[in-house]
A and B are shown apart, each in its own frame.
Chain A
Amino acid sequence: MRDHAVNPVIAELRERIERLEGGAIRTRAVLPFGVSVIDGRLPGGGLVLGALHEVAGGGNGAIDGAAAALFAAGIAARTNGKVLWCMTRADLFAPALAQVGLLPGRVIYVEAGDEKTLFSCVEEGLRHGGLGAVVGELARLSMTASRRLQLAAEGSGTIGIAIRRWRRQTEASDFGQPTASVTRWRVSVLPSTPLPVPGVGRARWLLELIRARAGESADFEVEACDAKGRIALPSDVVDGSPQKEIGRRFASA
C-alpha cells in the first residue's frame, strides 16, 4: 500500500517525483500479460522490462512460495534469453517450470548459502544484461538493497523478479515495508476452475497488485499460467463474481 505522508506538501512532492520517474519509465519496453484488464492497470501497458518486480505468496504461500514461483516462471518464460534463478532453499521442481513454458535449457540455478550471497548473485545477474530475466527468492529486501537491484535492472534492461519467501508466517509482515521495486504483487491460490467431471481443473489465483509505481493497486482473479506462461481471465469472471458459483460445485473423486 502506498504510505501517505502526514505532511500534504511532501505528499504532493512525492507524487510529482513519481510522475517524473513514471514518465521516464513509460518510454521503456514492457512485457504485457496479454490480459487487457491487467495490462490497462499497469503504466506502459505491462511489466516494465528494466525494473525490479516483487512477488509474494498469500497465506501459506508466504512460506512455500509455490504460486509466486509459478507466476514468476510464467513471466520469465515470456522473455528472451537465459534465466538466472537464485535461491537458498533448493526445493523448486523444474518439471513444473517446464509446464509453464520455462524449459530446462533456459534456466540456470544458483544455490546460494546465505541471503547476502544470494543478493550479490541477483545483482550480478541483473548487471550482466545478457539474461532474459533474473529471479531471486529473497526473504529480506531493504530499501537500499531493492534500490541497488532496481538500478542494476535499469542499467541493463533485464527484468528482475524478487520472490519474497519467508521461513515463518510472522516474518511475512516484512512485505509491508517500502522498497524500490516498480510493482508489487501478491499471489494467493483460489479453488481451481470447476470441471463438469471429478478432478482438479486449471489452477486459479487471486492476483493482487499491491503497488505499482505511477499506477493504482488492483485485484484480479486469474487462471494460472498455461503451457506458454500466459495467465488468463476465467470465463465466468468476465461477467460477474464467481464466488457464489464455487460454493455449490465441488467434486471429489
Chain B
Amino acid sequence: MGDASPPPEAPLVLIGRQQRRRSVVAVDRAAQAAGLRVGMPATKAQALVSGLVVMDANPAADLEALERLALWALQRYAPIVAADPPDGLVIDTTGADHLHGGEELMLSGMVNRFFHSGITARAAVADTLGAAHAGARFRAAPTLVVPPDGHASLLHGLPIAALRLDNAVTDALRVLGFKTIGDVASQPRAPLALRFGPELGRRIDQAMGRVAEPIDPLRTPDLIEVRRAFGEPIGAAETIARYTARLVDQLCRALEEKALGARRVDLLFQRVDNSYQAIRAGTATPVRDVKGLTRLLTDRIETIDPGFGIEIMSLTATIAEPLVARQVISSLVEEPEADVSGLIDIIGNRIGERRLYRVAPVASDVPERSVTRVAPMTADNGETWPSHWPRPTRLLPHPEPIETIALLPDHPPVNFTWRGVRRRVRRADGPERVFGEWWKRDAELAAVRDYFQVEDDAGERYWIFRAGDGEHGETGSQKWFLHGIFG
C-alpha cells in the first residue's frame, strides 16, 4: 500500500463477509492485545476499540500472494511445493534437507527469511502432512522437528482443532467432551463415522500416516514445463532414463525459443497411486546442454521408487535465466581453459551447492577474516593475498591456548606446550602485529594480536600469537595461542 498504509502500531482488523453478516477475519497483534478476536461481528469490534483501522479482506489477493510465496519456496527448497490456503505452505522436503544443512537449520533459515520479508512464520517437519500441519500451528516455537515415527505421540496430545476439520465438527466434538486427538482416536470408529461422516476418520488416518495424502504440486504457467503421460505405467530404470532424455530434449528446445537456460530443473514422477517422486538438479550457470542435463537427472534415478508404476513424468525449468549464444574469441596460440561447469554441476548436486566453493581474498589482516567462500563459477578477478608475511598451510578452526615461557613485550616464547607436548623454540620470526577491526565490533577497539612463526627442534613450524601487545592490559589477555601449522 506504500504511503497509504496505516501505522504499524494502530490496531488493524480485516473484515470479511460470512453468509450475511460482516465479521472479523484477521486481527493484527495490536488489535489482539485490545481484545479483538477472529469471528467477532465487525460492528462489535469497532465499538470496542476506538481508532481501529478496518479494511476489507481480499481472499483472492491473499491466495495469489500465497501462491507467489509457494513459487519462491519451490525455487529455493524442494521440487514438490503446494499452497495450503488460507495461510500455509506445504513442502515435501524428502531428500532436500541435507542441501540446506539438515532439517533443523532448514526450518530456522526458512523462518528467518520470512521474518526479514515481514512475515511471522512457524514451521514444522514431520513424517506426514497432517502431523506437520498440526505441529506448525500448535507446537512450533517457531520451528519444530518431529523425529521419525514421533508423529503419533505428538498428535495424541494436540487439541482436536489440529485435525483440519470443519468448525462445526470440531465444536460438536468439543461439546461431547473430546479434548485431544488422542481422545478421539481411541474411540470406536463406527459411531463417530455415523454421527460426523467419514471425514473425521480420514483426517485422523491421514495425520497418522495410515492413509496416503498426496500433495498436489504447485504449477504455474510462468515456468517452462514439458510432460509425458504413459499409456502403460513405467517402472524400469532404463525406461525412465530414456524418457528423461526425451523430456530434456524437449525442454531444451522450449528454453531455446525463449533464449533461456535452466539453472534448476525438477523432474516429477506421478505414480499410479497418485503420489509424487521428484529429482531436482541445479546448475552453476544457465545451461541448455541436453547431454549434461540428462546426466545430472539420470545420475539419481536410483533414488526414485516407482512403486506400482509411473504414469506421468514432467520436467520443469524451475529457475531459468537468459542464455544467449556468444561468440568466442580464440587466440589459436594459447589453449583455452576447459569449461568445468559440467563437473561442478555433477558434484554440486551430489554433495550440495554450499560444499563446493572457491575462496576469495578479503581485505582484512585478521587471518580468519581474510578468506571468504564464493560460488565456484564466480568470475576470477585475479586478486590474491599480500605475500610478504608467511601464512600457515593449516589454520586451526579455533586458536588453541598454549602454555609458554616468553620474555615480554616483544620476544617469541622460549618454549611452549601444545596438546600436552612441550617444544623448544629454536628459531622464530615476528612479531607480525594484527590490530582488531574496531569498525566491526566494539570489543576489538584496542585488541592486538602479535603473530610469530616459530620452529622447534625437529623443524616443525607453527604459527602462534599472543592476544595483546605484551604491555597494555586493554589490548588483550596476554595469553598465547597456536593458530596454524606451516608446511
Contact = CB atoms under 8 A, between A and B. Distances in A.
Contact of A128 (B343, B370, B411): B343
Contacts of A98: 384-385, 387
A200 B359 contact: no
A121 B352 CA distance: 12
B392 A252 contact: no
B455 A110 contact: no
A125 interface: yes
A65 interface: yes
A202 to B, nearest CB: 10
A200 B350 contact: no
Contact of A105 (B351, B380, B427, B457): B380
A252 B393 contact: no
Contact of B391 (A95, A110, A190, A227): A95
Contacts, number: 181
A73 B458 CA distance: 23
Interface string B209-227: 0000000000000000000
The main secondary structure of chain B at its interface with chain A is mixed
Contacts of B346: 124
A66 B344 contact: no
Interface in A63-82: 64-71, 73, 80-82
Nearest to B359: A94
Contacts of B63: none
A27 B359 CA distance: 36
Interface in A82-121: 82, 84, 91-99, 103-113, 117, 120-121
A63 to B, nearest CB: 10
A93 B463 CA distance: 12
B102 to A, nearest CB: 11
A251 B453 CA distance: 13
Contact of A82 (B337, B370, B384): B337
B358 interface: yes
A189 interface: yes
Contacts of B358: 104-105, 107-109
A103 B393 contact: no
A131 interface: yes
Nearest to A225: B487
Interface string B337-371: 11110111011001100011111110000010011
Interface stretch (B86-94, B188-196, B324-332, B394-402): B394-402
Interface residues of A, number: 61
Contacts of B429: 199-200, 253
Nearest to B382: A105
B51 interface: no
Q: How large is the interface on B (under 10, 10 to 19, 20 to 34, 35 or more residues)?
A: 35 or more
Given A95-B371, A130-B343, A198-B427, A66 B392 contact: yes
Contacts of B347: 110, 121, 124-125
B414 to A, nearest CB: 8
A200 B459 contact: no
B461 A200 contact: yes
Contact of B387 (A99, A105, A121, A187): A99
Contact of A65 (B342, B383, B394, B484): B394
Given A108-B358, A189-B459, A252-B425, A93 B339 contact: no
A35 to B, nearest CB: 18
B166 interface: no
A235 B430 CA distance: 26
Given A59-B458, A98-B387, A192-B461, A199 B394 contact: no
Given A66-B394, A67-B393, A128 B350 contact: no
Interface in A23-64: 59-60, 64
A191 interface: yes
A203 B486 contact: yes
A68 B487 contact: yes
Given A105-B382, A107-B358, A200 B453 contact: yes
A112 B487 contact: no
A111 B460 contact: no
B284 to A, nearest CB: 10
21 contacts: A59-B458, A60-B460, A73-B393, A81-B338, A95-B367, A99-B391, A103-B382, A105-B358, A109-B359, A120-B350, A121-B347, A124-B347, A128-B340, A129-B338, A187-B487, A189-B459, A189-B461, A192-B427, A192-B459, A200-B461, A252-B426
Given A98-B387, A113-B355, A252-B428, 4 more contacts: A92-B394, A99-B387, A103-B382, A109-B358
Q: Report, nearest first, the 8 A-B pairs whose CB atoms are least far apart.
A: A130-B338, A105-B380, A70-B487, A93-B395, A191-B459, A67-B487, A94-B359, A95-B391
